[in-house]
Amino acid sequence: MARATGLAPRRAYQLDAATVLLGNVLAGARGRQAETRTGAARLLNTNLAAQNDWKLIAAGGSSNSAGGYILQAAHVAEGAALSSASTYTNIGVVTAAAGAVNEIAISGKQIREAVRAAGSVTGDVRVAAVRVRPGTGNLAISNVALTTNVATITLSAAHTMLVGEVVTVGCSNPLVNGTFTITAVTSTTFSYSSTQSNITSASATGTVTNGAAVPVGTNTVALVPAQ
């Protein structure tokens, strides 16, 4: 049995209850109440042991269900605040489809080692922040600026991306293109580190994506232990 930090020995079955699901979801695993969750990620206070096997599941609950969800995780030092989480890393993507159940298998070891690499953790990974993020699809770029190796992209509409999210930028100004980790956000902008010459704020075109299509319809999304 895996040790869960601060709890009696047990397998880490609390994982799906500690994720953040953005968008409309049906009832989750073990009868959890249906809800729309738009808050910040919650701390998962448990040990993801190597022998724990998980499934990230998306079930299409309406005729127009579609789109993708990305499982992400980061390291948080034991006893530390969630705001001190290391860089989030993508663990897997699952896609919703009307009338279908899609899943990908994920092991506790896979999550733990990905978190270790992303956060440059040399010790034991016992506490992790885990979140499920919706796909963004292609978000339109309207402006770009780069000052002192920090690029700031302005989008033509509000977004829901978070600090720590990995995004791919394809802009009319090639100096800001690539895959980056977001370091700051506002309702319509996001920033990331990029070692390039300064770019004076100017209009630009292009797209940004976090690697999955934006979900539509009503979907059930959960991370559950594989039986």
Q: What is the largest CA-CA distance in the chain?
A: 56
CATH 2.60.120 range(s) for the chain read 15-135+214-225
Q: Which residue has the higher pLDDT, 60 or 49?
A: 60
Q: Which residue has the higher pLDDT, 154 or 10?
A: 154
Please give the order of strands across the beta sheet that includes 53-60.
101-107, 53-60, 219-225
- The C-alpha atoms of residue 134 and residue 21 are separated, in whole angstroms, by 8
Write out the CATH class of domain 139-209.
mainly beta
Per-residue pLDDT of 97-137, as tens digits, reads 998 989 988 887 888 888 888 878 877 776 677 778 888 99
Per-residue pLDDT of 174-194, as tens digits, reads 999 999 999 999 999 999 999
Confidence at 79, pLDDT banded by 50, 70, 90: confident
Confirm if 9 and 49 have CB atoms less than 8 A apart: no
Query: pTM of the predicted model, to two decimals?
Result: 0.77
Per-residue pLDDT of 189-208, as tens digits, reads 999 999 999 999 999 999 99
Decide the pairing of beta strands 206-209 and 128-134. Answer: unpaired
Q: Which CATH number fits domain 15-135+214-225: 1.10.443, 2.60.120, 3.10.20, 3.40.1350?
A: 2.60.120
Q: Which residue has the higher pLDDT, 20 or 86?
A: 86
CATH 2.40.30.20 range(s) for the chain read 139-209
Confirm if 219 and 61 have CB atoms less than 8 A apart: yes
